[in-house]
Amino acid sequence: MAIFLSILWNNIIPLAVMIAIGITLHRVFSLDIKTLSKLNFYLFSPAIIFKLLYTTEVSLQSALHVLLFFVVFMLLLYTSVEIAIRVRGIEKSRRGAMRNSVLFYNSANYGIPLNELVFASNPFTLSIQVLIMMLQALLPNTYGIYSVNAHRISGKQILKTIAKQPVIYAIPLGFLMRGFGVPIPHALQVPLDYAANAFIGVALITLGVQLGSMKISLRSLMLGDVLLSCSLRLLGGPLLASAVVWMLGIDGLMAKALIVSSSVPTSLSSVLLAVEFDNEQEFASQAVLVSTLLSILTVTFVIYVMG
């Protein structure tokens, strides 16, 4: 019960408050969700990724283990989603959004606080979570863009769109500047901090604005597809992660950190992608909202099993 209340109070309620603020602001002022989406994609998200990579100390051995785990894990998770899509017969226009809702998980504003809570701010497990967050940030800006656009624009146009995403350049830049010890001038450090600190708040408000623009009812709730997405994300994620760490012989704190990181709900990136490229916005928003609520139970159970 103590773990349950800690997760509820430290993780879920703060997220819910920010989402509620977004819903309220939209109902009062009719905010432009496209503008909020662009701020997240082109400014706040690259800023927080660059800052964390530049400031977090990560060993090469840990990075290689995490990378190997992530590749195997994502391949297995993708296979599971594809099987589910084929069995359920999901329409083509929604398939990309369904994949994104399972493959992209909230490794930043949910995963990092959760990691600090579970592992008592252990710097080693935090570095693992930062690596997962970096890889998760790269996916929506590459594969995610492809998945929501593949059925309607050419491959050349998709590549051009991907090439315009700042996150792709922020990741290697952060690694290189840290590796070579390149200092950031104070005149740039201050605005970088401002932009990075704004990411979580603006992303949650964006989700609130999207939810506030929806007329949520039992009829509008895509219950079958949303529950399928949540099952694959919240139950399939940690089960597959456990299998992968066992197959790769990863144990100890690293194994536990990787399994816990895989148990978090659907990422806000799936909503931002849906809004930015006008693809299944309601489904994406419902998947994030329902998975976040259900994660109160599922994440608590995963932590309990992890001991």
Using CA atoms, how far residue 175 sits from 51, 83, 122, 166, 182, in Å, is 10, 36, 22, 15, 10
- Reply yes or no on whether the pLDDT at 201 is more than 80: yes
- Reply yes or no on whether the pLDDT at 152 is more than 80: no
Rounded to two decimals, the pTM is: 0.79
Domain ranges of the chain: 2-306
Q: Which of 62, 211, 176, 193 is nearest to 126 (CA)?
A: 62
Type and span of the H or E element at 223 = helix 223-231
Please tell me the least confidently modeled range out of 10-14, 95-99, 172-176: 10-14
Q: Which of 220, 221, 231 is nearest to 84 (CA)?
A: 231
Average pLDDT over every residue of 101-114: 83
- Report the chain's mean pLDDT, rounded to a whole number: 83
Average pLDDT over every residue of 5-32: 81
pLDDT of the residue at 82 = 93
Using CA atoms, how far residue 22 sits from 33, 222, 271, 284, 306, in Å, is 10, 22, 14, 16, 35
pLDDT of the residue at 163 = 78
- Reply yes or no on whether the pLDDT at 11 is more than 70: no
Average pLDDT over every residue of 140-151: 68
Alpha-carbon dihedral angle through residues 203, 272, 29, 204, given to the nearest 10 degrees: -20
Q: Which of 242, 48, 261 is nearest to 137 (CA)?
A: 48
Confidence of residue 25 (pLDDT cuts 50, 70, 90): very high
The residue type at 30: S
Tell me which of 2.60.40.10, 3.60.110.10, 1.20.1250.20, 1.20.1530.20 is the CATH number of domain 2-306.
1.20.1530.20
- Reply yes or no on whether the pLDDT at 151 is more than 60: no
More confident residue, 188 or 119: 188
Q: Which residues pair with 266 in a beta bridge?
A: 105
pLDDT tens digits for 228-268? 999 999 999 999 999 999 999 998 899 999 999 999 999 87
pLDDT tens digits for 62-85? 888 999 999 999 999 999 999 999
Residue with tokens 């226009």: 93
More confident residue, 147 or 83: 83
Tell me whether residue 163 is exposed, middle or buried, using C-beta atoms within 10 angstroms of its C-beta: 0 to 12, 13 to 18, 19 or more.
exposed
pLDDT of the residue at 186 = 93
Confidence of residue 219 (pLDDT cuts 50, 70, 90): low
Percent of the chain with pLDDT over 70: 89
pLDDT of the residue at 81 = 94
Question: E strands along the chain, which residues?
Answer: none
Between CA 126 and CA 260 the distance in angstroms is 12
Type and span of the H or E element at 61 = helix 60-88
Between CA 2 and CA 47 the distance in angstroms is 35
Helix (H, G, I), strand (E, B) or coil at 105: strand
Between CA 111 and CA 294 the distance in angstroms is 15
- Reply yes or no on whether the pLDDT at 278 is more than 80: no
- Reply yes or no on whether the pLDDT at 272 is more than 80: no
pLDDT of the residue at 84 = 93
The residue type at 182: V
Percent of the chain with pLDDT over 90: 26
